[in-house]
Chain A
C-alpha cells in the first residue's frame, strides 16, 4: 500500500530541512565571539617598557590595527603595509620627521602621507570608532618603535598632535626612561596594570 503523505507535512519538511541545512553550514565555519575592547588604564608614572606592553595590547585590541596590518608576513598580497621593521623605515620616510613624528602623523593624520603602492584607507585613530586617547597613542608608538628599533617615547613626549611643536620632544619622564629593544619587549602576561 502506498503511503500518502499530506502536502502540508511535505511542505513543512522541505522548509525545515532547507533551514536546517543552512543552519548546519553556519556551524561548520569558525566560531568566534568578538567582545568590545577593554579600556586601558595608563598610570601617570608608566615606564616605557610598560608602554610597549600596553601598546601591543592596543595594537591587537582596541586599536584594531591587525584588521589591516600584519607583522612579519613574508608573501603578498598585501592590502596594507606589513609592519615588520617599520621603525627603521619611519626614521627616514619623510625628511625632517623623526620616527615618533612620523608615527604620530600616520595615526592622527593618516592621509598626509600614503606609502607608495597602497591606497589611502587608514582611519584617524584618535577619532571614533577607534578613538584612542593621546596617551594610548603614545603607547602604540612605543610598541611600533620596537618593530625594528628601540622604544624611546615616554608618556610625557610631546609631538605636533598633542600640544608639542613640529618635532617630537621627550619630556622629563615621570619614571626613568628605559630603552626597550624589540627582543626584550615584555609579553602581555608581564604587563603592569594599575
Chain B
C-alpha cells in the first residue's frame, strides 16, 4: 500500500475509533443516569417529587400547628439544676457579704483615723478597701450567672418571682449603679478628696449597699414566709410581700453576720500577708490588721446568736410546722454540726486572744487565768455538741432504755444548750477584756470598785443563765421556751454594763508595758485563716438550712417544687456541696488577695521582675 493510502486509512480508522469511543461513553453514562422507573410510574400514585413536596408541606403544617408549651424546668448537665444553682447562689452571697461588710468597718476605721489624726488607721482602712474592687466584680458576675441560670433552669419559678417583685427591680438596678459609683470613687479617690468628702462617699457606699441587701432579702425571705399573696399565689400587696414575716430578722441577722464574715476574711488576708512579710515593720502592720479583722469578726459574732434567736422565733410565729421542721425534724441534726462549727470559732477566737497576750510584756499576770477559761469554753462546747438522741444499734438503744443516753441525754435539750452558748459568749467576752487590759494600768481612783462591780455583774449574769437553765428542766415547754429571753437579755445587759464601766476605767490608762506588734507566733495567723474558713463554712451551712426549710416548695405553701430535685437531700450530701463551695470561694478569694498584693509590688521597669 502506498504511503498516501496508509495515511488515508489511518485517518478513517481514527475517526471510526473516535466514534466508537464516543458511543461507548454515551452508553455508559446513559446506563447510570437516573430514569423514572417504567413500571413504578404506572403503579405508584405518588411520584418522588410529589412525595417530597408532600412531606415538606406536612412538616410545615405540623410546625405551624405546634402548641407553645412553657418549660417548667430544664436540666443542668452532670450535677443537676439544684446543685448548680446552690453553688452559684452561695458564691454570690459570700462575695456579696464580703463586699457589704468591708466598707462598714473600713469607714469606721477611717473615721477613727480622721478623729485621732493617726495615719495608721487611714492606711489600714485603705488596705481593707483594696480588697473590694475585684470582689465587687466577682459578686456582680456571680449575680448575673445566678439570674441567667434561674431563668434557664427554673423558668416557671423565676417568672413567678418576677410577677411578684417586678416593682423592686428598677430600684435594685439603680442602687447597683450607685454602689458601683460610690465604691470606685471611694477606692480610687482615697487621698484625692478632703477627708470629710471621702467619709461621705464611704457613708453613701454603705447606705446603698444596705439598700441592695434589703431588696434582695425581700425576694429570698418571701420564698420562706410568703405574705401579700392570695392562697393561689396572686399578688395582693407588693409591700406586704417585701415586709414578710422573716424579712427584718434576716436583715438584722445578715447585717451582723456579714460584718463577722467580712472581718474574718479580711483577718485572713492580713494573716497571709503576715506570713509573707519580709520585714518586722510589715509583720507589725499585718499583725495589727489581723487583730483588727478578728476583733471586728468576734465583736459581731457575739451578738449573732441573739439575732438568730429572733429569726427562729419569727419562723415559729409564722409557721410552727416550719419551725419544728427546723429544730425538731429533718434539720435538727444540722444544728449539731453548727454547734461543732461555733464551738471551733469560740475556741479559735479565744486561742488567738491568748496568743496575742504574748505581744505585751508583763502579760503573765493574766495568762494564769487562761486555763480556767479554756476549761469553761471546752465544757460549754461539749454540752452544746451533745445530741439529744444518739445514733445507736437496737441493742444499744435497749440497753440505754431509749434513744437518749441516760446521763448525757439531759445535755441534749435546749435548756442545756441555751445555757452553754450564753456562758461561751460571757467567757469569750472575759477573754477579750483580759486581753484589752494587758499592759495597762488604770489611773482612776475608783479602779477597785469598778473591778468589783464588773465581777459582780459577770457573776450575776452567769448565775441567771445557769439558774434559768436548770429551772427549765422542771417546767413545762410553754414556760421553758420563754426562759431563753431573760438568759439572752442578762448576757447582753452584762456585756453592755461591763463595757460601760471598762471604757472610762481605762481611758487614760498608764502603759505598764509596750505592745510589740508582730511578735506573735506564726500559728496565730493560721488560727485566723482557720476562723475565716470556719465562718465561711458556717455561712454555707446556715444558708442551706434557711433555703432547705421550704422542703418541696419553691415558695412555701404557694409554689410547689415538682422538679426531680424536689426532695431534701441528706445532711452528708449538703455538707459536701457546702465544702465544694467553700473551696471554690477560697480559691477565688486567694486570687483577690493576690491581685490586691500586686498593688504593693514594684513596677516592671523598677526592678520588680528581675
- Bound together: yes
Q: What residues of chain A have their CB less than 8 Å away from a CB belonging to chain B?
A: 7, 10-11, 14-16, 18-20, 22-23, 25-27, 29-36, 64, 67-68, 76-79, 117-119, 121-123, 127-131
Interface bits B530-552 vs A (CB < 8 Å: 1, else 0): 10011001000000000000011
B552 cross-chain contacts in A, Cβ below 8 A: 35-36
B340 within 8 Å of A (CB atoms)? yes
Q: How far, in angstroms, from A67 to B332 measured CA to CA in the complex?
A: 11
29 example contacts (A-B, Cβ-Cβ < 8 A) are as follows A11-B272, A14-B526, A14-B533, A18-B534, A22-B337, A23-B576, A25-B340, A25-B575, A26-B337, A26-B571, A26-B572, A27-B575, A29-B336, A29-B337, A29-B387, A30-B391, A33-B568, A36-B552, A36-B566, A64-B321, A67-B324, A76-B476, A123-B319, A127-B231, A127-B557, A128-B557, A129-B321, A129-B556, A129-B557
**With contacts A26-B575, A29-B337 known, is A34 near B476, CB below 8 A?**
no
B464 at the interface (CB under 8 A from A): no
In addition to A23-B576, A118-B478, 5 A-B residue pairs with Cβ atoms within 8 Å of each other are A18-B534, A19-B582, A29-B337, A29-B572, A36-B552
Taking a contact as CB atoms under 8 Å apart, the answer to whether A67 and B325 are in contact is: yes
B321-342 to A contact mask, C-beta < 8 Å, 1/0: 1001100111001101100110
B434 CB–A CB distance under 8 Å:
no
A128, B231: Cβ atoms closer than 8 Å: yes
**A36 CB → nearest B CB, Å:** 4
A contacts with B: majority SS: loop
Is residue B477 within 8 Å, beta carbon to beta carbon, of the partner chain? yes
Mask: chain B, 562-595; 1 = CB below 8 Å from A; 0 = not: 0000111111101110110011001000100000
Task: For the complex formed, measure the closest distance between the CB of A154 and the CB atoms of chain B, giving whole angstroms.
Answer: 28
CB-CB under 8 A from B437, the residues of chain A are none
- Asked whether, in the complex, the Cβ of B533 is within 8 Å of the Cβ of A117, the reply is no
Contacting residues, chain A, for B568 (C-beta < 8 A): 33-35
Number of interchain pairs (Cβ within 8 Å) = 132
Q: How far is the CB of B364 from chain A (nearest CB, A)?
A: 30
Judge whether B533 and A18 touch: CB under 8 Å. yes
Q: How far is the CA of A127 from the CA of B329 in the complex (A)?
A: 21
Pair B476/A7 contact, Cβ less than 8 Å: no
A26 to chain B, nearest CB (A): 3
Q: Are B330 and A34 in contact (CB under 8 A)?
A: yes
Q: Given A117-B478, A128-B557, A129-B557, are A22 and B579 also a contact pair (CB < 8 Å)?
A: yes
Q: Given known contacts A11-B272, A67-B329, A117-B476, is B337 in contact with A16 (CB within 8 Å)?
A: no
Does A78 lie within 8 Å of B477, measured CB to CB?
Answer: yes
Enumerate B305-357 residues with CB–CB distance to A below 8 Å.
316, 319-321, 324-325, 328-330, 333-334, 336-337, 340-341
Distance (Å) between the CB of A3 and the closest chain B CB? 16
Residues of chain A within 8 A of B156, CB atoms compared: none
Interface centre among B341, B476, B567 (most CB of A within 10 A): B476
Q: Does B275 sit at the interface, judged by CB under 8 A?
A: yes
Complex contacts, A32 vs chain B, CB 8 Å:
330, 570
B320 and A77 form a contact (CB under 8 A):
no
Q: Once the chains are docked, how many angstroms separate the CA of A152 from the CA of B495?
A: 61
A contact residues around B337 at 8 Å (CB): 22, 25-26, 29
CB < 8 Å neighbour of A31 from B480, B571, B590: B571
Contact of B572 among A7, A27, A117, A127 (CB under 8 A): A27
Q: Is B298 in contact with chain A by the CB < 8 A criterion?
A: no
Q: Which residues of B contact A35 (CB under 8 A)?
A: 552, 566-568
* B366 beta carbon closer than 8 Å to chain A: no
Residues of B within 8 A of A16 (CB): 583
Q: Indicate if the CB atoms of A128 and B533 lie closer than 8 Å.
A: no
Q: Is the CB–CB distance between A130 and B567 below 8 Å? A: no
List which B215-232 residues lie within 8 A (CB) of chain A: 231
Q: Report chain B residues within 8 Å CB of A22.
A: 337, 340-341, 534, 537, 575, 578-579
Q: Give the docked Cα–Cα distance between A131 and B336 (Å).
A: 31
Chain A residues near B571: list those with CB within 8 A. 26, 29-31
Given that A22-B340, A35-B567, A36-B552 are contacting pairs, would A67 and B574 also be in contact in the complex, using a CB cutoff of 8 Å? no
Instruction: Chain B residues near A79: list those with CB within 8 A.
Output: 324, 328, 477
- Residue from A14, A119, A129 within 8 A of B530 (CB atoms): A14
Q: A residues within 8 A CB of B480?
A: 77
Smallest CB separation, A115 vs chain B (Å):
11
Tell me the minimal C-beta distance from A63 to chain B in angstroms: 10
Nearest A residue (CB) for B226 = A128
**Does chain A have a CB within 8 A of B506?**
no
Q: Does B553 contact A (CB under 8 A)?
A: yes
Contact with A along B455-481 (1 / 0, CB 8 A): 000000000000000000000111011
Question: Do B275 and A33 touch (CB < 8 A)?
Answer: no
Are A77 and B529 neighbours in the complex by a CB distance under 8 Å?
A: no
State the CA gap A64–B324 with chains docked (Å): 10
For B272, the chain A residues whose CB sits under 8 A away are: 7, 11
Docked complex Cα distance between A7 and B275 (Å): 8
A137 to B183, CA, bound (A): 57
Known contacts: A14-B533, A36-B552. The answer to whether A31 contacts B572 by CB under 8 A is: yes
Q: Is the CB of B557 within 8 A of A15?
A: no
